[in-house]
């Protein structure tokens, strides 16, 4: 296939919705030679675009055009895939033309294009460990995230010596579209963003390169500003699901500890996935005295108040009523404090989606206090479960899908060996947990992974319970009823 590698890739470029036609073939071929160097092209292992690009990158290394480092490989891969990607103007035109037929036709097209040009790292994502676990909280979704590449120590060291440009300001700015990349900053030559209007402002819609669920989308403000959960944000979420009725959309909380990892840039996450929390039934209803809106408490480890109605404006009114009250609400009997020393602690994680003609808005109450007993957060994974999960509980995890660190894949393999008496290198932090499993189960090589997966699921259920503001016991629910009554 050595002689065919370049020609097959040219065939794909001409056939794809790229800027190029058959008449441009010779020009594009020379563009590729400029990137990979003149001379023989290495054979590809398969005829799909990703394997073809891998062979072209290996050719560039052999020709001395780039060094064989993760950063330089990624930059060249994105440059080559950019050749088969429409220009932003053409892509936006193609998206909105299809949108006139149906929103799903537009998102399906953009999603498949983002996979085909390897902006969405399908091969990396396939490495993730994914399983369901039946727990006291219901069926939870567990993922051990292996998709993001390991950081190259040499690249990290070299990046320290690079000039600090401050451009792009962060990885969510629109200035990333088409950005070459550099040491310590991802390549974005093949990155494209759909423009749309939200609340009288230009926003962007793109997919996540390392998707955590089906059609994992990001909606980002054109303006670089901190995240804020307020009336304007709730209105935006409901407008997004009006425009894209097959998608959910939500926002991370806007405070440290309970918020997401990127609070510096206003953005939301969405996609085509039904999370465990969205399937959870109501425990009881309560009256907000907002016409056209029904409200209820969801049976969920975290405190989720679900609003439902046919008219987004009424849902915004109801949501603002809850958020304004929660912002200043305290109940010392259950460690709920709106402020300490003038610092605000209360916000919500909001999630919007459609159910037939109805709009549904889940508001998950959040509190980011710390204490001497819980220095990482009173409503954060407590120390005894941090061997599994110690990071922030963000939007995706609030809804019942665990994003667990890559370290757990190798660490759990050692736990499994320990549990069945094989030579192992179990980490000390997992030992008490593993001993508890040993005491409760008759373990064999055949069932040990199932037992460990179930135990991870149960631990994640505990993580969610730790993050729940009003606990699911009699005391916690009585305190929640007091909060609801004063609304």
Instruction: Judge whether residue 324 has pLDDT over 80.
Output: yes
Q: What is the 3-state secondary structure (H, E, C) of the chain?
A: CCCCHHHHHHHHHHHCCCCCCHHHHHHHHHHHHHHHCCCCCCCCCCCCHHHHHHHHHHHHHHCCCCCCCHHHHHHHHHHHHHCCCCCHHHHHHHHHHHHHHCHHHHHHHHHHHHHHCCCCCHHHHCCCEEEEEEECCEEEEEEECCCCCCCCHHHHHHHHCCCCCCCCCCCCCHHHCCCCCECCECCCCCCCCEEEEECCEEEEEEECCCCCCCCCEEEEECCCCCCCCCHHHHHHHHHHHHHCCCCEEECCECCCCCECCCCCCCEEEEECCCCHHHHCCEEEEECCCCCCCEEEEECCCCCEEEEEECCHHHHHHHHHHHHHHHHCCCEHHHCECCEECCEECEEEEEEEEEECCEEEEEEEEEECCCCCCCCCCCCCCCHHHCCCCCCCCCHHHHCCEEEECCHHHHHHHHHHHHHCCCCCCCCHHHHHHHHHHHHHCCCCCCCHHHHHHHHHHHHHHHHHHHHCCCCCCHHHHHHHHHHHHHC
Handedness of CA 101, 104, 106, 112 (dihedral sign): negative
- Residues 6 or more apart whose Cβ sits within 8 Å of residue 199: 232, 235, 236, 239
Indicate the pLDDT class of residue 156, thresholds 50, 70 and 90. low
Q: What Rg, from alpha-carbon coordinates, does the chain have?
A: 25
Q: How far apart are CA 361 and CA 325, in angstroms?
A: 17
Please report, rounded to a whole number, the percentage of residues in the chain having pLDDT higher than 70: 96
DSSP β-ladder status, 358-367 and 304-309: antiparallel
pTM, full prediction: 0.94
Question: CA nearest 270: which of 257, 256, 252?
Answer: 252
Query: What are the tens digits of pLDDT across the range 18-55?
Result: 999 999 999 999 999 999 999 999 999 999 999 999 99
> For the residues 455-468, what does the mean pLDDT come to?
98
**pLDDT of residue 278 exceeding 90:** yes
**Residue 425 confidence (pLDDT):** 98
Separation CA 243–CA 4 (nearest Å) = 44
466 contacts: CB under 8 Å, gap ≥ 6: 379, 380, 381, 382, 385
Instruction: Give me the mean pLDDT over the 158-175 stretch.
Output: 80
pLDDT digits (tens, 9 = 90+) for 298-309: 999 999 999 999
Read off the pLDDT band of 148 (50, 70, 90).
confident
- Report the pLDDT value the prediction gives residue 231, as an integer from 0 to 100: 98
Q: What is the mean predicted confidence (pLDDT) over 257-275?
A: 91
Q: 262: pLDDT confidence band, cut at 50, 70 and 90?
A: confident
């Amino acid at each position: 296939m050595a002689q065919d590698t370049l020609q097959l890739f040219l065939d794909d470029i001409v056939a794809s919705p790229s800027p190029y036609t058959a008449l441009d073939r010779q020009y594009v071929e020379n563009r590729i030679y400029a990137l990979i160097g003149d001379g023989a092209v290495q054979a590809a292992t398969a005829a799909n675009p990703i394997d073809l690009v891998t062979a072209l990158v290996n050719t560039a290394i052999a020709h001395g055009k780039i060094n064989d480092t993760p950063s330089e490989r990624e930059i060249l891969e994105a440059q080559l895939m950019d050749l088969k990607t429409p220009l932003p103007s053409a892509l936006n035109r193609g998206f909105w033309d299809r949108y006139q037929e149906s929103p799903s036709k537009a998102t399906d097209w953009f999603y498949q294009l983002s996979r085909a040009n390897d902006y969405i790292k399908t091969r990396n994502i396939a490495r993730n460990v994914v399983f369901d676990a039946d727990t006291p909280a219901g069926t939870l979704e567990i993922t051990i995230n292996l998709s993001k590449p390991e950081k190259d120590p040499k690249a990290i060291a070299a990046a320290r010596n690079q000039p600090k440009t401050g451009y792009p300001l962060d990885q969510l700015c629109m200035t990333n579209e088409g950005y070459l990349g550099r040491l310590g900053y991802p390549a974005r030559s093949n990155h494209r963003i759909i423009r749309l209007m939200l609340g009288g402002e230009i926003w962007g819609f793109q997919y996540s390169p390392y998707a955590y669920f089906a059609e994992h989308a990001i909606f980002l403000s054109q303006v670089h500003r901190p995240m804020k959960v307020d009336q304007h944000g709730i209105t935006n979420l409901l407008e997004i699901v009006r425009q894209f009725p097959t998608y959910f959309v939500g926002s991370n909380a806007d405070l440290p500890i309970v918020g997401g990892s990127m609070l510096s840039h206003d953005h939301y996450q969405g996609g085509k996935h039904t999370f465990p929390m969205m399937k959870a039934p109501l425990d009881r209803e309560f009256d907000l005295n907002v016409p056209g809106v029904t409200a209820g408490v969801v049976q969920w480890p975290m405190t989720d108040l679900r609003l439902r109605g046919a008219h987004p404006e009424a849902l915004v009114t109801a949501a603002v009523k809850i958020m304004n009250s929660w912002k200043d609400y305290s109940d010392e009997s259950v460690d709920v404090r709106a402020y300490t020393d003038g610092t605000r602690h209360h916000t919500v994680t909001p999630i919007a989606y459609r159910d037939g003609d109805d709009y549904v808005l889940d508001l998950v109450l959040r509190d980011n206090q710390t204490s001497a007993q819980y220095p990482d957060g009173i409503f954060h994974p407590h120390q005894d479960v941090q061997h599994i999960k110690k990071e922030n509980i963000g939007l995706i995890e609030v809804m019942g899908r665990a994003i667990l660190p890559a370290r757990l894949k190798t660490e759990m393999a050692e736990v499994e060996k320990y549990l069945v008496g094989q030579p192992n290198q179990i980490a000390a932090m997992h030992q008490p947990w593993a001993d508890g499993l040993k005491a409760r189960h008759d373990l064999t090589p055949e069932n040990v992974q199932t037992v460990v997966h179930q135990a991870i699921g149960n631990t994640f259920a505990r993580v969610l319970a730790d993050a729940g503001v009003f606990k699911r016991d009699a005391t916690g629910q009585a305190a929640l009823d007091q909060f609801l009554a004063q609304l």
